[in-house]
A and B are shown apart, each in its own frame.
Chain A
Amino acid sequence: MEILYVLVPLSVVLVGIAIAIFFWAINSEQFDDLDTPAWRILKEDDYKQRSMDSNKT
C-alpha cells in the first residue's frame, strides 16, 4: 500500500493540470459556441479536390 504515497500526490498534480487547462479553455472562450466547430470538419477533402479541379479547368 505504500505505493499510494506516490499515486495520490500524482493524482493531485493531474487535477492541477486539469484545472489549468479548464481555466485556459474558459479564458479563450472555448465554451461560448459549441455548434460552429462541428461544421468545420465537413468535406474538407472534397472541397480541396474540387477547388483544385476548378483551378485546372
Chain B
Amino acid sequence: MSTCYHCQEPVPANENRWIEIDGEKLPLCCAGCEAVTHLILDAGLDDFYRFRSAPSPKVEAGDKTRWSGFDTTAVLDAYAPSDINGERELRLQLDDLRCAACGWLVEKTLGDKAGVCDLRLNTVTGRMTLRWRQEDVALSELLAMLDALGFKPHPLRDGEQKPHHERERKAFLKRLAVAGLGMMQVMMYGVAMYIGAFQDMDVGIQEFLRYISLLIATPVVFYSGAPFFKGAWRDLLSRSAGMDVPVALAIGGAWTASVWHTFAGAGEVYFDSVSMFVFFLLIGRFVEFTARHQVSDTGNALAASLPAIADRIDDTGNTTSVPLTVLRAGDTVRVKTGETVPADGMLLDERASLDEALLSGESDAVTRKLNENIAAGAINRGAPFRMQVTHIGRDTLLSGITRMLENAQSSRPRLARFADRLARWFVAGVLLAAGVTALAWWQLDAARAFEITLSVLVVTCPCALALAVPAALTAATSALARRGLLTVNSDALETLSGITDVVFDKTGTLTVGKPRVSKTVVCGELPEQECTDIAAGLEAQANHPITDAFRAIARAQRAFLNVEQHAGAGVDGTHDGVRYRIGTAAFAINGRDALSPDASVASWVVLAREAGDGFAALAWFALEDSVRTEALNVVRALQHSGLAVHLFSGDAEKSVESVASRLGIQSFAARMQPADKLQRVRELQANGRRVLMIGDGINDSPVLAGADVAIAMSSGAVLAQSSADFVLTGKFSAIPGALQLAKRTRHVMRQNLAWALGYNLFALPLAAMGLVPPWMAAIGMSASSVLVTLNALRMKMKESSPPEPVGAQPAPVEFINLLSR
C-alpha cells in the first residue's frame, strides 16, 4: 500500500497516477493531488516538498465556477471596497496551512500573478490580507487558485474586526516599548549620577542630567503607568484596597518628590527607580493578560468550517452562487452532495442524509425528514436537497457554541482571583506599615522619612504575588499546548493535579473512530476476495466511513451503475447487469437468512446479490473500530502512577469487554446511557474520589460537565469540547505527560506564592528600618518578580520526552515569544 506523495494518505488500489520528480516516479492518490502537484512543479516550486514539515492537505478537484459570485461589484464592495488607487483589500481565513512552507507556497504562486499588489499571510493564524486590482485579475481566479492548492479560502467581511483584546494587546506593547526604552535611558543617566556623586561631578552637569531624566521619566509615568493610576482610582472609588493603590502611591509619590527636588536643586531623585518600577509592573500585567487570552482561535477555526458560497434558488427557480453573507432568513438554498450546509434551516425535500460530525461527533449519517431543522456545519452525504434558511451567521447553533467556547476561555481563573483577594489584605497591611513608618521616621529624622516610606511601598509591592499564579499558568498552558493539549479552563489545571480516577469513553476516544473490516464470512459461491472487491465498488460511491474500510482491503474495485444510497440501511447498485446490495440484514436480504452472526461482538453488514425475486447473501463482513495504538501505553502509564482507570461505553457488552481486556482495564461497563455514566461518576465522587473524564461525543457532554476535570477529543463533537476543560488536539499519548505537568504546575504555583509572601515579610522590616534605599528596593522588587517568572519557565524547560507534533491547528504561543501571536 503506497502513500500519496502530496498528502501522504494511502493510495487506493485502483488509482494509477504518478508524478515524476528528479527522475523518480512517485504515486498520487487522486485527481486533486495530481493537479496540485503539477501546479507546484510547473511553477518551479518543487522546493516546497523539500521545505514542508507536514503532509499537505488532500485536495478535492474543485469547481472553478464556485467563486464567480465574488466578481460582482455588490459583493466586492461588501467585502473589499476599492480605495482611491482602484486597489481592493480583502482579508481571508485560509484552511489547512500545515507549516511555514505552505505559506511560502501561497505567497509564491499568488504573489507573482499580475494584478496582485500585496499579499500578507500569517501562517500561524491562517489570516491573509490580499491587495489586488479587480480589472487586472478577477478575485474568483485568485480564490480558485487557493482552493486548487488545497487551502480553502474564507473571505472575511469588513465588519469582522479583530477581537477587542487585539487592540488591548497592542496598547500594552506600546506602553512596554515606551517604559522599556525610557527606563534604559534613565538608568544610564542614573549610573552616571551615582558615579558622579563619588567623583565630584560638576553641578551644572548634574542638574542637566536630572532635568533630562525628568523629561524621559514623565511620559513613562503618565503614559505607560496610566493603567495603574486608572486602576487605583477605580479601587478608591469602590472603597477597596486594590493592588493598584500602593503602586500608584509609590509611582506618583516618587515622581512628585523627584520633580520637586529637581527644581529645588537638592535632594534625592528617583527617576530611575520609578521607570524600572513601571516597566516591571507592566510586564507582570502583560503576562497576566496573555495568560487570560491565550487559548488559540478555536472560534475562528469553527467559523472557517462554513462554506463561503451557497447556492440560492430564487423565485423563478434559477440557482445562483452567492456569498454566504448575502443569505437572508427565508431564502431557499440548495445543498449539493458533499457540500457543507451554510446556515440553519428547515428541510424542504422529503429526506436528507447528513453527517453532523461537527456538532455531534458521530459520523454516521443522520436522516432528516421534511420540515425538520438542519444545522449549519452539517455535511450532505446523500442526494442534493433544498432547505429554507431560518438562522444565519451569528444566530446559528454553531455560532452559539463558538461564543460559549470563547466566553469560557476569557474568564479569569479562580486561583488568580484567590491571589487577588490575598493581595487585598496584603495591600491594606502594606499601606498601614507605610503609614506607621512615615510617622515614626518623621519623629526621628524627618529628612529621611519620605525616602524610607517610598522604599517600604516599593519593596513590598505585591507584583510578585500578582505574577505568581499567571506566570505559572501561562507557562503550563503553553507547555501543554506544545504537547497537544489545549487548555480551555485554566482553573482545571489545579484540579487535574489532584485526580484519582480516570474514566474513558470507548468509541472515538480509546478507538480511532474509523471502522475496519475485521472478519469476513462467506456464505455464497463467490470467493472472499471477489466479495470484498464487489463490496468496495458498491461502497465507493457512498463516501461513508465504511467505504474506507473496504477500500483498504480491496484489490480491484468493480464499477457500479445506478448506485442508490438508503440512509441508515445500505447501498444498492448494478454491476454487469446484476443488482447487488450491501448493508444491514433487514435491508439487503429482507432479514431472512440462515447465518445470523453474533451481534454483540461487532456490527455486521451483509453483501447480497439478486437471485430470483429476492436477494441472496454472498458474504458477511464484521466491522470493528481499531483501538488506538498508544492506548495501551497510556492506560499502563496512568495505572502506574496510581490512578484507577475505568471504561464506560454505550456499546455492546462483548466489544467493550474485548477492548477493556486488551488494555488491561478492570473496571468497565457497557450499554451505558449518558445518565448512567453520570451516575457512576457521581458515585465515585461521593466516595471522595476526583474524576477525570475523557470523551468525544455529544452524549458525553453531561458527563464531561459533571466530572471534576474533562478532556474532549478534538476529533469529537463541538458541543463536547465546550463542556470540557481541555481539548486533546495532539496524540493520545500526551495524556500521562499532561497529568505530570499539572502536578508540577501546582508545585510551582505554591513555590511562587510562598516566595512572594516570604520575600515581602523579610524585606518589609528591613525597609522600615531604613536599611534599603529606593533604588535597591526597586531592584529587589524586580528581582523577585523575575524569580517568580523564571521559576514558572522551569516547567517548560524540563521535559522528559520531546513535545508531540500538533496536528493542523494554529501553533501555540511560546512564553518567550509573547510579542508574537
Contact = CB atoms under 8 A, between A and B. Distances in A.
B804 to A, nearest CB: 19
B418 interface: no
Nearest to B107: A40
B123 A36 contact: yes
Given A8-B189, A31-B819, 13 more contacts: A1-B205, A9-B212, A12-B216, A15-B181, A22-B177, A31-B820, A33-B821, A36-B104, A36-B121, A39-B101, A47-B47, A47-B108, A54-B44
B208 A39 contact: no
Contacts of B178: 19
A34 B817 CA distance: 9
Contacts of B174: 22-23, 26
A54 B173 CA distance: 47
A32 B178 CA distance: 19
A32 B122 contact: yes
Contact of A51 (B43, B122, B124, B820): B43
A20 to B, nearest CB: 10
B54 to A, nearest CB: 13
B752 to A, nearest CB: 27
A39 B819 CA distance: 19
B820 A34 contact: yes
Interface string B543-560: 000000000000000000
A36 B47 contact: no
Contacts of A1: 202, 205
Contacts of B236: none
A44 B190 CA distance: 49
8 contacts: A33-B123, A35-B123, A36-B104, A39-B104, A43-B47, A47-B108, A53-B44, A54-B42
Contact of A39 (B51, B182, B817): B51
A57 B43 CA distance: 13
Contacts of A54: 42, 44
| Main SS at interface, chain B | helix
Interface of A: 1, 4-5, 8-9, 11-12, 15, 18-19, 22-23, 26-27, 31-36, 38-40, 42-43, 46-47, 50-51, 53-54
B784 interface: no
B216 A15 contact: yes
A36 B51 CA distance: 12
**4 closest residue pairs by CB, A with B:** A51-B44, A50-B44, A33-B122, A22-B177
Contacts of B821: 31-33
Nearest to B104: A39
Contacts of B205: 1, 4
Contacts of B209: 8
B100 A35 contact: yes
A15 B208 contact: no
A25 to B, nearest CB: 9
B570 interface: no
Nearest to B821: A32
B212 A12 contact: yes
Nearest to B124: A33
Interface residues of B, number: 38
B332 to A, nearest CB: 41
Interface string B117-139: 00001111100000000000000
Contact of B45 (A4, A11, A32, A47): A47
A57 B806 CA distance: 42
Contacts of A53: 44
A36 B624 CA distance: 42
B275 to A, nearest CB: 12
Contacts of A23: 174, 177
A31 B108 contact: no
A43 to B, nearest CB: 5
A11 B188 CA distance: 11
Contacts of A40: 104, 107
Contacts of B101: 39
B399 to A, nearest CB: 25
Interface in B777-821: 811, 817, 819-821
B153 interface: no
A26 B819 CA distance: 9
B38 interface: no
Interface in B730-785: none
Contacts of B173: 26, 31
Given A1-B205, A33-B125, A22 B820 contact: no
Given A1-B205, A32-B122, A34-B820, A15 B185 contact: yes
Interface string B46-77: 01000100000000000000000000000000
Given A26-B170, A33-B123, A43-B47, A19 B212 contact: no
Interface in B160-217: 170, 173-174, 177-178, 181-182, 185, 189, 202, 205, 208-209, 212, 215-216
B103 interface: yes
A42 B51 contact: yes
A47 B44 contact: yes
A31 B818 CA distance: 9
Contacts of B100: 35-36, 38-39
B108 A19 contact: no
A9 B208 CA distance: 10
Nearest to B171: A26
A27 B167 CA distance: 10
Contacts of A50: 44
B45 A36 contact: no
A32 B125 CA distance: 9
A11 B181 CA distance: 11
Given A26-B170, A39-B51, A12 B185 contact: yes
A33 B44 contact: no
B491 to A, nearest CB: 29
Residue of A39, A40, A51 with most chain B CB atoms under a 10 A cut-off: A39
A44 to B, nearest CB: 9
Contact of B820 (A33, A38, A42): A33
Nearest to A46: B47
Contacts of A9: 212
A4 B108 CA distance: 51
Contacts of B42: 54
A36 B291 CA distance: 24
A31 to B, nearest CB: 4
Contact of A19 (B181, B208, B215, B820): B181
A19 B125 CA distance: 27
